[in-house]
Structure 1
Amino acid sequence: MMGFPQLSLVPLVGLQYLTHSSTLLSSPWPLASGLQQMGISQGDVVLLLLPNSIYYPIAFLGVLYLGAIVTSMNPLSSVAEIKKQIADTKACHAFTGPENADKLQALGIPAILVPENALSGSLKDIFSVFYKLIYSRCYLALRPVIKQRDTAAIMYSSGTTGVSKGVMITHRNFIATVAHFVRFEASQYEGSSLDNVYLAVLPLFHIYGLSLFVMGLLSLGSRVVVMKRFDVNEVIKAIDRYKVTHFPVVPPVLTALTKRANDSLAPHSLKSLKQVSCGAALLSMKTIEDFVQTFPHIDLIQGYGMTETTAVGTRGFNTEKLRKPSSIGLLAPNMQAKVVDWNTRSPLPPTSTGELWLHGPGIMKGYLNNAKATLSTIDEEGWLHTGDIVFFDEDGYLHLQDRLKDAIK
C-alpha cells in the first residue's frame, strides 16, 4: 500500500520546513495545467535549473504530466554551459532560483522562479507565479496521450566516451527505475518503507538523486529530508534530529563522514542510521574497511547504474551469512548482463574479467542528435556496452575493476 510522501528541507542556516503530503501529491497536476495555459505543450522541453529543493519533485512531475520533457542542469552552471544545453535541447521555458534569473533572461528563456522552501509574507511576491501554478484549481483542458516510448527527460552524461551527451530517457525507463531499482530493493528488507527516513544530499539534477528522491522513494511513502548542499556537520545534525535511517552517498561523502566520526562524535550520534548506500564511483578497500570499523552497526552497500540505464543496474545486498560490501551487488530484476572479452566480444564465464554489457527496460532511448554515439554504445540487439571492466563472482555478485579506456592504455 502506498503511503503519503513527506519532504523536509534542511538549509545550512539550520531551519527546516515540511511540506504537507497532500500538497506534494496534488500540486503537479495544476502545475501541468498552468504550463499548458502558458503555451507549453506535449513534446516541448523545459529546463530545471534548480538546487535540491522540496519543490523539485513538483516541478519535475508537473512537466512530465503535461507530456513535456525535462532537461536538468547544475544550478552552478555557467552562462555558456546553459546556453549550449538550451540550444541542444531546444528548451523553451525554465524553472530556476532567483540567482539564475538574469542568466536565463539574457538568453531569452522565460523562467518561473522557485523558492527553496515554504515561504510566507512579502518574500512570496517574487515566487507568485510558481505558487499560483501549484495552488490553482485548474486542470488540463486536454489530457495528452503519453506513451511509454515517449521521451520524458534529457539528462546529460559523459557516457562511455568522456564527451557530454544528452541521454534521452523515456517514460518506460522511469517506470523501470521505480519498479526495479527503488521498489524492488525496498521489498528485500523486513519492515515498512513508511518507517524509513532518507537523507538527500545527492544532487537531484543527476540521475542517481533523481531516481531515488524525486520519484522512487515517494512511491513508497518514505520520508525524505532534503539538504541543499553537503556539509558534514550539518549532515550529522540532520541525521540525529530527523532520525535518518538511510543515507545514499558518493565516495567523498562517505569518506568525510568516516573522518568526522573518527575526529569526534557524540556517543549517541548517528545511532538511527541503518544503511549507507554508495554509488557513482568505486570505493577503495581501505575506505570500506575504515567505514565498517567506525560504524559496525550500519549496513554498507554499493550499487551500479548509469544515466544511460536510468540508474538501473545492480544493488548491494548483505545478509547475516553473506556480506560483500566491496561488490557493487546483484543484478536488478528484468535486467540482463554479460561480461565479454573486449577484443573478441565473446561472452565470458563467471569469475572472468571483461567489459560489462547490459540489456533491459532501463536502457536509454539513445543520445540526443547523435546517432553515431548511440550506435557505438547500443548494438543491434539492444545491449548497452558500458565500458566498465567487471567480473561476477561465484555467488552472482558483480565486482567493478576499471574503465575499459583505462585498462587498454
Structure 2
Amino acid sequence: AAAAMQDAAHDPSAATFYSAAAGLYASTHPPVPLPADPGLSLVPHIFSRLPLGPAPPHSPPCLLDAATAASLSRADLRRLVSSLARGLRRAHNVRAGSVVLLVLPNSVAFPVAFLAVLAAGGVANTMNPSSSRAEIAERLRDTAPSLVLASPENAAKLPPSAAPVVLVPETFNPTPSAGHEFAPFRALLDSDADDFPSAEVGQEDAAAVLYSSGTSGRSKGVVLTHRNLIAMVELFVRFEASQYARPACDNVYLAALPMFHVYGLSLFAAGLLSLGSTVVVMRRFDVGEAVRAVHRYKVTHLPLVPPIMAALLRAKATGASSLDSLVQVSSGAAPLSGKLVQDFIKAFPHVDFIQGYGMTESTAVGTRGFNTSKHKKYASVGLLAPNMHAKIVDLETGLCLPPGSCGELWLHGPAIMKER
C-alpha cells in the first residue's frame, strides 16, 4: 500500500506533503476546482466540458466499434443519450432513485445506455455479462431494479419473474439480419429532443451501484454519487490528460477493459467522452483482434491489466505485434511483477508505460504515474491525485505511519463512495 509514497522516504521535500502530527499525506498537485452547484449531475457536466459546435468535415468519431467500424460522433452521442433518457422516463417511468440493471458486454451502445439512465435520474447498476443465472438472480434480489437492459444472450439467463427487460443492440446501425428483438429499444429513441430531461437529481444523489469483491466475503455494492463520478472525470481522466502536451482530442483509446468495472466505466463510458478522444470498443479482449484494432485505427492509448500485458508480450515474441502507433500504455486493477514491467518496456521501448491505483470505493481515483524525459519510475503507481488525502495505518497498533512504511492505505476525498 505504501508503494505510492516510497520515494518520499529519501526525499527532503517529504514535509511538503506529509504531516507527521496528523499522519496525513496530501497530494503534491495543486487542487483542482470542482463544480459547486449542488444540483449538477454527471451527464450535463460531461457535455458541458465537451464542445459540440459544428464538427470539422473529418472530425474523429467519439465512439467506434472495432469489429464493424460503426461509429458515433459527439453530436450523435448527445442526441442518443437525451433521446434514450426521455424514452426511459416515458415508457418505463425511470425517475430519481429508480435502479436499472445493465447486463451488457462492451459495445458502442453501453456508454449511451449508462449515461441515459443517469440523465433520466436513475441509478445504473452494472454487472459482468458473463455472470451465471444464479449470480444474476441474486443481483435482482439484492437491488430490485425497475428495469433491466440486457444483451439477448444475457436476457435468456433472467428468471421469469424479473423486472421488464429491454434488449440493447451493440451498435445503432440496423443490419438486414437484425430481427424485431431490438424494436422496443429503438422505440425508446423516437424523440429528437437535444435537451436532457429534468432529472431532479444533484451531486449528492446516487448515480451508480458497482459491485466490488473487496478482500473477503460476498461481493458488496458500492454506491457512487454524481459528485463521486464528477470528481472522477476531473481528478482522474481530465487531470491526467492535462499533464501532457498532446491534445486529448487527438488520442485514440482501445476499450479492451470491461465497462461494467469501475476502471473501464470511468474511462470509456464517462471521462474520455468529456475530452473528445476517440474510444475504439472491443466486445471482449482477444490479443489478435486487439493488435489488428491498434493498427487499423491507429490507437495511441491502451489502458490494460497485467494479463493483457502478458498476452501482448507473447504476441510480440511471435512477431505478430509491433504496436507502432501506441503512445502510452497504462496498467491498473491488479499488481504487476517487476519482471513483466521490464519485459514490456524492453519489447515496446517507444511506449510510455505508467501505473495507477484506485478502487471501486474511490471511483477509480487514487494515484497515477507520470514519466518525464529525465525521470521514469515504471514500478511506482505514482502520486496522489489532486484533492485527495491519505494515511498509511498499522493494522496492529492503529497508528499512522511515515513515508517508506508498509501498512493499510486509507484514502479521503471527493471521489470516495457514499456512506450507506
CA, structure 1 residues 320+217, in 2 after alignment: closer, same or farther (shift >3 Å)?
A: same
Q: Is the 8 A contact 1:201 1:230 kept in 2?
A: yes
CA, structure 1 residues 244+171, in 2 after alignment: closer, same or farther (shift >3 Å)?
A: same
Q: List gaps (5 residues or longer) in structure 2.
A: 1-48, 53-60
Matches within 5 A, 1:8-407: 8-11=64-67, 15-38=68-91, 39-104=93-158, 106-117=160-171, 118-121=173-176, 123=178, 125-137=180-192, 143-265=198-320, 269-366=322-419
CA, structure 1 residues 343+141, in 2 after alignment: closer, same or farther (shift >3 Å)?
A: closer
Q: 3-state SS of the aligned residue for 1:27?
A: helix
What's the Cα RMSD here?
Answer: 1.8
CA, structure 1 residues 295+3, in 2 after alignment: closer, same or farther (shift >3 Å)?
A: farther
More divergent stretch after superposition (104-113 vs 344-353): 104-113
Normalised to the residue count of structure 1, the TM-score between the two structures is 0.85
Q: Aligned partners of 1:17 and 1:45: how far apart in 2?
A: 29
Q: Which amino acid aligns with 1:83?
A: A
Q: Which amino acid aligns with 1:165?
A: K
Q: Aligned partners of 2:227 and 2:403: how far apart in 1?
A: 30
Q: How many residues align?
A: 362
Q: Aligned partners of 2:240 and 2:233: how far apart in 1?
A: 10
Q: Aligned partners of 1:180 and 1:285: how far apart in 2?
A: 27
Q: CA deviation at 1:135?
A: 4.2
Q: Which amino acid aligns with 1:360?
A: G
Q: CA deviation at 1:6?
A: 1.1
Q: Is the 8 A contact 1:247 1:276 kept in 2?
A: yes
Could you report, residue by residue, the CA deviation over 1:277-297 in whole angstroms, capped at 9, with x for unpaired residues? 000111100000100110011
Q: Aligned partners of 2:203 and 2:388: how far apart in 1?
A: 18
More divergent stretch after superposition (140-149 vs 310-319): 140-149
Q: CA deviation at 1:139?
A: 8.0
Counterpart residue number, 2:50: 2
Q: Is the 8 A contact 2:327 2:351 kept in 1?
A: yes
Q: Is the 8 A contact 1:97 1:113 kept in 2?
A: yes
Could you report, residue by residue, the CA deviation over 1:333-363 in whole angstroms, capped at 9, with x for unpaired residues? 0010121222122121111222111000111
Q: Aligned partners of 1:195 and 1:67: how far apart in 2?
A: 32
Q: Is the 8 A contact 2:125 2:210 kept in 1?
A: yes
Q: CA deviation at 1:116?
A: 1.2
Q: Which amino acid aligns with 1:113?
A: L
Q: Aligned partners of 1:135 and 1:331: how far apart in 2?
A: 45
Q: Is the 8 A contact 1:33 1:140 kept in 2?
A: no
Q: CA deviation at 1:159?
A: 1.9
Q: Is the 8 A contact 2:74 2:276 kept in 1?
A: no
Normalised to the residue count of structure 2, the TM-score between the two structures is 0.83
Identity %: 53
- Structure of higher RCO (CA pairs closer than 8 Å, 6+ residues apart): 2
Q: Is the 8 A contact 1:9 1:54 kept in 2?
A: yes
Q: Is the 8 A contact 1:55 1:114 kept in 2?
A: yes
Q: Is the 8 A contact 1:315 1:330 kept in 2?
A: yes
Q: Is the 8 A contact 2:355 2:369 kept in 1?
A: yes
Q: Is the 8 A contact 1:339 1:348 kept in 2?
A: yes
Q: Aligned partners of 1:321 and 1:255: how far apart in 2?
A: 27
Could you report, residue by residue, the CA deviation over 1:68-90 in whole angstroms, capped at 9, with x for unpaired residues? 10101111211111111111111
CA, structure 1 residues 253+142, in 2 after alignment: closer, same or farther (shift >3 Å)?
A: closer
Could you report, residue by residue, the CA deviation over 1:174-226 in whole angstroms, capped at 9, with x for unpaired residues? 00100000000000000211100000010000000000000000000000000
Q: Is the 8 A contact 2:146 2:163 kept in 1?
A: yes
CA, structure 1 residues 140+102, in 2 after alignment: closer, same or farther (shift >3 Å)?
A: farther
More divergent stretch after superposition (222-231 vs 128-137): 128-137
Q: Aligned partners of 2:220 and 2:243: how far apart in 1?
A: 34
CA, structure 1 residues 308+365, in 2 after alignment: closer, same or farther (shift >3 Å)?
A: same
Q: Aligned partners of 1:347 and 1:105: how far apart in 2?
A: 49
Q: CA deviation at 1:101?
A: 2.2
Q: Aligned partners of 1:207 and 1:322: how far apart in 2?
A: 29
Q: Is the 8 A contact 1:9 1:53 kept in 2?
A: yes
Q: Which amino acid aligns with 2:251?
A: N
